[in-house]
């Protein structure tokens, strides 16, 4: 099968690498010639490093690179069996490119979007054949991150979903099936990791370095929330937060932060601009955290309670199965363990009590315990994850 990739940025280039390594001929399309050239150079550099590390022989790396073609005309996609779009997160742009593409590809070509937060139904609504379109959401960097979310819309044909899922699994990826709702699984469930950490900072409970230390050293997360948002970039992270918030009709659970918005407005996007929550400029120093264990545990308990509540809500709203939700969070964002497994270990009643106390104290609906959590505690249940 020939694979088409629309967009030669980091994500499109990464997906192309994955597909080519799996043995496919791949076409990467972009309207920007300079972007295509950069994509080619990045892939060449990547495979050179992989050869140096002994991951591939020089001959195999060269063979894989020959499978990837760089195109500035969508008509090159006429024989593709699957096309994955990975362009800017704008509904109008995605609709436009798929509208053009539909007139070029064959009738059995599967169309997919790598959107992280936009509605699959909305993107496919104006297509003549929306039954062949779905979401195939990779995580950055695509060659390294094992998880891919498969998201059918209301109109996606069941056989298209099954074909796409089987194909992506053949690329040595872990797939989870998600409902077409804002943020799908990972970007929905992960929101409190960032938003509650910022809220803790805004209300003065702890500084940025201390919150990051607590989530790493006590919580077991690979990176603290402020380090991670600086790495992702506030132009990406804040926009996803705002998109999920607006698409959920301004539910307080997803409310964005003014603090992060001001960073975005100031162009302080994180590592890419050398300033964000932290200062990465040469000569700058990083504040030492307050390593008080009691304070650190309070930080972890509060953020974790909201993360677990969001994971439980995803089960309650049938966004995915309990097993897939835990798999998504461990494979998609490297959480130290699945949130529902974590809930079982802590005790659902303990989680409910923490949320109830926060809800009572703040009077903020972001802390309202999920009905499924209340029901499971009342019935003395735990999550079955095997």
Token pair listed for 186: 């990972």
Token pair listed for 290: 């307050």
> Which residue in the list 39, 119, 187, 370 is annotated as catalytic?
187
Cα 44 to Cα 40, 68, 218: the distances in Å are 6, 11, 40
Going by the DSSP 8-state scheme, the letter that residue 63 receives in this structure is H
Active site residue 187: yes
How many Å apart are CA 271 and CA 227, to the nearest integer? 9
> Which residue in the list 39, 116, 153, 195 is annotated as catalytic?
116
Residue 212: Cβ within 10 Å count: 25
Active site residue 114: no
249: CB partners within 8 A, 6+ apart: none
Active site residue 116: yes
> Which residue in the list 102, 149, 165, 196 is annotated as catalytic?
149
Cα 309 to Cα 217, 228, 257, 302: the distances in Å are 22, 21, 20, 11
Block residue for tokens 């990465």: 280
How many Å apart are CA 330 and CA 341, to the nearest integer? 11
Question: What residue ranges in the chain does DSSP mark as E strands?
Answer: 2-6, 25-29, 68-71, 82-85, 110-113, 133-138, 147-152, 174-177
How many Å apart are CA 132 and CA 110, to the nearest integer? 5
> Which residue in the list 8, 102, 137, 237 is annotated as catalytic?
137
How many Å apart are CA 14 and CA 137, to the nearest integer? 12
36: CB partners within 8 A, 6+ apart: 8, 28, 30, 70, 71, 72
SS3 content of the chain, % helix, strand, coil (to 5): 55, 10, 35
Among candidates 141, 295, 340, 142, which has minimal Cα distance to 231?
141
Residue 29 Rama label (left phi>0; alpha psi -120 to 50; beta): beta
Strand partners for 150: 136, 177
Going by the DSSP 8-state scheme, the letter that residue 307 receives in this structure is H
How many Å apart are CA 288 and CA 209, to the nearest integer? 6
Show which residues are catalytic. Answer: 116, 137, 149, 187
């Amino acid at each position: 099968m020939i694979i088409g990739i629309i967009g030669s940025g980091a994500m499109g280039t990464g997906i192309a690498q994955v597909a080519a390594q799996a043995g496919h001929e791949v076409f990467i399309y972009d309207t920007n010639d300079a972007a295509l050239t950069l994509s080619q150079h990045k892939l060449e550099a990547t495979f050179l490093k992989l050869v140096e590390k002994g991951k591939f022989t020089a001959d195999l790396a060269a063979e894989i690179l020959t499978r990837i073609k760089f195109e500035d005309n969508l008509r090159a996609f006429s024989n593709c069996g699957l096309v994955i779009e990975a362009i800017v997160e704008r509904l109008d742009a995605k609709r436009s490119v798929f509208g053009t593409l539909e007139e070029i590809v064959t009738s059995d070509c599967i169309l997919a979007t790598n959107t992280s937060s936009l509605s699959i139904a909305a993107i496919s609504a104006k297509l003549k054949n929306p039954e062949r379109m779905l979401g195939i959401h990779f995580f950055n960097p695509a060659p390294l991150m094992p998880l891919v979310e498969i998201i059918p819309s209301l109109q996606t044909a069941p056989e298209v979903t099954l074909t796409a899922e089987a194909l992506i699994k053949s690329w040595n990826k872990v797939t989870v099936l998600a409902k077409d709702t804002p943020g799908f699984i990972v970007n929905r469930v992960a929101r409190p990791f960032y938003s509650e950490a910022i809220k803790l900072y805004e209300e003065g409970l702890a500084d940025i370095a201390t919150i990051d230390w607590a989530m790493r050293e006590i919580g077991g997360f690979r990176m603290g929330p402020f380090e991670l948002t600086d790495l992702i970039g506030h132009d990406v992270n804040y926009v996803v937060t705002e998109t999920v918030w607006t698409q959920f009709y301004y539910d307080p659970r997803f409310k964005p932060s003014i603090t992060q918005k001001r960073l975005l407005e100031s162009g302080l996007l994180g590592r890419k601009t050398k300033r964000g929550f932290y200062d990465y400029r040469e000569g700058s120093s990083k504040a030492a955290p307050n390593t008080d264990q009691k304070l650190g545990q309070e930080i972890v308990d509060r953020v974790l309670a909201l993360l677990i509540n969001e994971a439980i809500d995803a089960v309650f709203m049938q966004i995915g199965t309990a097993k897939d939700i835990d798999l998504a969070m461990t494979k998609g964002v490297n959480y130290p363990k699945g949130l529902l497994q974590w809930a079982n270990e802590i005790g659902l009643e303990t989680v409910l009590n923490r949320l109830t106390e926060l809800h009572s104290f703040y009077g903020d609906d972001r802390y309202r315990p999920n009905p499924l959590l209340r029901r499971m505690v009342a019935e003395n249940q735990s999550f079955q994850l095997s």
